[in-house]
Amino acid sequence: MSAQAAPAPAPAEAPKKKSKKLLFIILAVVLVAGGGVAAWFFTAGAKAEAPAAEEKLPTQYFAMEPSFVVNLADTDAVRYLQADVQIATRDPETLTALQAHGPALRNRLLLLFGQQLSPSLAQRSGKERLQEKALAEVRAVLKKEGAPDKVESVIFTSLVTQ
């Protein structure tokens, strides 16, 4: 009986080794499949984004002519600002709205420019803040008129203070 009892534990160990091999094979297959799915997901996402970039319309500029000339709000001396302004958009409907509402836009920008102080316009950061404020004014006028307001930026092609 003891001879029969000794061989019994040996077969019990053999199935454990087979189950470990099977587990490693399953894990390897899952990892390879997961990598394939991830690769497909990322390459398919890149292909989907590429056509969207091609559909981007060219930038169109609306020149606010003639140049803006305003008195600055300085109290110590009389100072002037002269600015050439262009408004950038990629939307044809917004460009049409800019042309249609040019006088209202010009009025709002004149009022904005007349509130500035010359020391704030001496630094680049002051000019950039003025551009941001001008962009907000342009969008506000278009929104008030119920027009498309897809304006990307207000650009100073010339800015002189004196």
Model confidence, pTM = 0.66
CA distance readout (Å), 105 to 12, 17, 109, 124: 88, 81, 6, 24
Say yes or no: 33 and 97 in one domain: no
Say yes or no: 65 and 38 in one domain: no
> How confident is the model over 61-84, as pLDDT tens digits?
999 999 999 999 999 999 999 999
Range of the domain at 147: 60-161
Share of the chain above pLDDT 90, in %: 65
Q: Tell the burial category of 128 from Cβ atoms under 10 Å away from its Cβ (0-12, 13-18, 19+).
A: exposed
Say yes or no: 68 and 45 in one domain: no
CATH (domain of 119):
3.30.479.30
Say yes or no: 32 and 66 in one domain: no
Residue-level pLDDT at 111: 97
Say yes or no: 24 and 71 in one domain: no
The mean-pLDDT minimum among 4-8, 43-47, 138-142 falls in 4-8
Say yes or no: 66 and 46 in one domain: no
Say yes or no: 25 and 82 in one domain: no
Say yes or no: 111 and 150 in one domain: yes
> How confident is the model over 26-66, as pLDDT tens digits?
877 887 777 777 777 777 765 555 555 558 899 999 999 99
Q: How confident is the model at residue 25 (pLDDT cuts 50, 70, 90)?
A: confident
Say yes or no: 66 and 31 in one domain: no
Say yes or no: 145 and 67 in one domain: yes
**What letters, b where the CB count within 10 A reaches 16 and e where it falls short, cover 31-40?**
eeeeeeeeee
Q: Could you give the strand order of the β-sheet that contains 60-71, starting from the edge strand earlier in sequence?
A: 60-71, 80-89, 151-161
Say yes or no: 37 and 90 in one domain: no
Is the pLDDT at 17 greater than 60? The verdict is yes
> How confident is the model over 117-138, as pLDDT tens digits?
999 999 999 999 999 999 999 9
